[in-house]
Amino acid sequence: MLLVDELREAWRSEPRDHRIAFAAIVAIGIILRVAHLRQPMRYDEAVTYMYFVRHPWSEALSLYTYPNNHLFHTLLAKVSTTAFGNSPWALRLPAFLAGVLVIPATYAVTRLLYGERAGLIAAAMVAASGVLTLYSTNARGYTMVVLAFLLLVLAGIRILRGDVHPPWFTFAVIAALGLWTIPVMLYPLGTVALWIALSLLVAGRAAELRRLAVSLGVTGGLTLLLYAPVISREGLAAITRNRFVVSMGWFEFFERLPPTIREALVSWSLGVPPLVMLALAACAVLALRHHASLSRFRVGIPLAGFAWCAWLLVVNHRAPFARVWLWVFPLAAALAGAGAVAFLERRTSSGTAASVWQRLPVLTTIFALAMALSVALSRGVLVSPDTGTFRDARRAAETLRGVLRPGDRVLAAIPSNAPLSYYLHAIGVSENVMSLDVRQATRVFAVVDRHEGQTLPALVARSPVSDSTAFGAPSIVARYPGAMIVLFQRRDAPAR
């Protein structure tokens, strides 16, 4: 109810043109996301379905073979696919809904931190964001983490405002569900918790820190309870000591951290002209510099975020994937909105500023529409290699269905194998074709995805099909814009 209450208050207090602009911006964000909802399946989300979602409930919520299992997302995706069937849009529905809700949540948070004008600008940025569109149409839990972060900020604002009924328990539940989705929720959770703690100390309300500690304790208890099926089946180490989170050596950590941060920042401009992003980045820097005069809270969330994340990175000394920082984007959008408002107020005449404010609802709507069109026309979301792609997977699966017979093996490399497995499974082809021992196969169909830089020699280099005494020369079965299927026939196979 946190988001609903804040939006209801905004709807009642803002003028009609402001409300219309906000509704239009949300609609633009929905349309942009719907347009990408049926894009080809990606590696990580295909693994999510094949290894977890399609299995019985007891296995889906207790298997942690890979951290790929974002458990709360898996639960919702299983509900969705059970209700609507196994199709990409149904599998992606939870991420899509969370991604849509991020737009009004960004507006609500920015409005409370920096004012309604900044809120409209931030909402427009988030609605037209290429990277948020990508993860809103990717069956993973990252948009759910972004939404959880924003809801925690809303809860924190209520707590700091001194509401009669501070939502401490709500804070704990949101945090626990975020952690149950992906443990990297530790980054945004710690950021908001530190922000609340510092704000309470600055305001002379140190006595309330005990309530924060209790809320975090409840968060920990709920999180352990939610992870109990995994812990009882695979042990706590499956979550805390898997190869994707275990600490790196210090030299490797300092070598990998800058590129991952740079990759995250670059991804925020997906499909958007660089000059536009540079201008918005400059506005965000301006807002950081003048935080004290722009924000309604003395302690800034960016300061708390930097302190907490830097500490956590040093403690764990593990460079996370670039997408782990996706939750920071709405905060950056809020800063850009606040900085843009401040720039106009300080660098333009009062008459010019008044004219801009009068037209701001229309201008922000046009901005959102222009950026959304830029993202769509650039095809940036569709061609992004993030989380692994095989854009010709559906056509390859349909071709294979028509030629496969018992004793055949399909050979594909990461990240092409999981999307191909998903589409083969969807059209009723046995999973054995992807797992049969190549040495026992009569024919081997090698699938090469050139978009991922794959080559046939590299794919078969360590496979028995490279033995020319056992398998005949390759022949091309099918070609696609970015891929091909090649057949290797065993020499001693009986003629059919």
Taking only the tens place, the pLDDT of each residue in 456-473 is: 999 999 899 988 889 999
Phi, psi of 221 (to 5 degrees): -65, -45
| Predicted local confidence at residue 355, as pLDDT | 82
Average of per-residue pLDDT across 355-372: 93
User: Peptide bond preceding 104: is omega within 30 degrees of 0, i.e. cis?
Assistant: no
Average of per-residue pLDDT across 211-216: 97
Q: Looking at per-residue confidence, does 8 or 67 come out higher?
A: 8
Q: What is the model's pTM?
A: 0.95
Residues in contact with 390: Cβ distance below 8 Å, sequence separation at least 6, in sequence order: 40, 41, 43, 396, 412, 415, 416, 419, 420, 449, 451, 452, 483
Interval 275-291: pLDDT, tens: 999 999 999 999 999 99
| Predicted local confidence at residue 391, as pLDDT | 95
Closest to 130 measured CA to CA, from 386, 301, 305, 319: 386
Interval 336-348: pLDDT, tens: 999 999 998 877 6
Average of per-residue pLDDT across 128-147: 98
pLDDT of residue 495 exceeding 60, the answer is no
| Predicted local confidence at residue 357, as pLDDT | 84
d(CA 129, CA 125): 6
| Predicted local confidence at residue 173, as pLDDT | 98
Burial string for 170-203 (b: 16+ CB within 10 Å, else e) reads bbbbbbbbbbbbbbbbbbbbbbbbbbbbbbbeee
Residue 338 contacts residue 294 (beta carbons within 8 Å): yes
Interval 291-318: pLDDT, tens: 989 998 999 999 999 999 999 999 999 9
Q: Looking at per-residue confidence, does 494 or 96 come out higher?
A: 96
| Predicted local confidence at residue 496, as pLDDT | 54
d(CA 273, CA 360): 21
Average of per-residue pLDDT across 357-363: 91
Mean pLDDT of the chain: 94
Residues in contact with 178: Cβ distance below 8 Å, sequence separation at least 6, in sequence order: 144, 145, 148, 149, 152, 185, 188, 189
Average of per-residue pLDDT across 164-174: 94
| Predicted local confidence at residue 68, as pLDDT | 87
d(CA 38, CA 34): 8
pLDDT of residue 352 exceeding 80, the answer is no
Q: How confident is the model at residue 215 (pLDDT cuts 50, 70, 90)?
A: very high
C-alpha pair distances (Å), 326 with each of 85, 302, 311, 411, 493: 29, 14, 19, 34, 52
C-alpha pair distances (Å), 471 with each of 189, 305, 405, 456, 475: 56, 58, 17, 15, 11
Average of per-residue pLDDT across 243-252: 88
Residue 363 contacts residue 353 (beta carbons within 8 Å): no
- Which residues share a beta bridge with 402? none
Average of per-residue pLDDT across 396-402: 96
d(CA 12, CA 333): 24
d(CA 85, CA 309): 40
Q: How confident is the model at residue 494 (pLDDT cuts 50, 70, 90)?
A: low
pLDDT of residue 434 exceeding 80, the answer is yes
pLDDT of residue 376 exceeding 90, the answer is yes
| Predicted local confidence at residue 468, as pLDDT | 87
| Predicted local confidence at residue 245, as pLDDT | 85
pLDDT of residue 353 exceeding 80, the answer is no
| Predicted local confidence at residue 168, as pLDDT | 96
Single-letter amino acid code for the residue at 148 = A
| Predicted local confidence at residue 243, as pLDDT | 82
pLDDT of residue 2 exceeding 70, the answer is yes
Domain positions in the chain are 2-383, 393-489
